[in-house]
Amino acid sequence: MQKVKDIKNQKITTNPIVYFWYFKEDIANKLLIPLKECIDFSKITYKIINNTKYYLLYVGKAKNGHQRLIEYHILDKQNYHQKGIENKRLSSLRQTISALLGIDMSISKEKVDEVFNTCIVDWREFNEKELEKNETLFIQQHYLPLNDLHSIIPKECRQILRQLKKEYRK
């Protein structure tokens, strides 16, 4: 497990990975306010790290771990916040965080970065043939409020997330 702020300027594996995003409890509680009526907080996996509770809120996959996790999600290296909104090239996780913060995606880069800098990420390497299967398995085994695809969270929560993302895709 690594703090995002500690690895954003490092090179991590280029192998295929399934990655896990853990959000500090106070940040998770703030982000999930729009979903509070449909989320069962007791089902969310958490870890205590240095006496701080972190909730597992998102799982994703990457054929190239460094490109996807570091360059695309963490750094938004291609600056999709400004130029990739309309063609939906902005990371799905960044879109979701922007929407939950109630900030238009084209101007939310700094605020999303602030949230990410409080997160911890972890990953597991897989061969490319096992990648899709393992991502789906991890998503289905955990209650992940920020995942839409394959998620076991209630349908109404996924609908709220989609609507918020549509509303803040500006």
Domain boundaries, the chain: 2-167
Q: What is the pLDDT of residues 78-89, one digit of tens each?
A: 888 877 666 578
pLDDT in tens, 121-134: 999 999 999 999 99
Q: Dihedral (C-alpha) 11, 5, 59, 39: value to the nearest 10 degrees?
A: 180
Residues 6+ apart with CB under 8 A from 79: 109
Contact indicator for 112, 98 with CB cutoff of 8 Å: yes
At 78 the pLDDT is 87
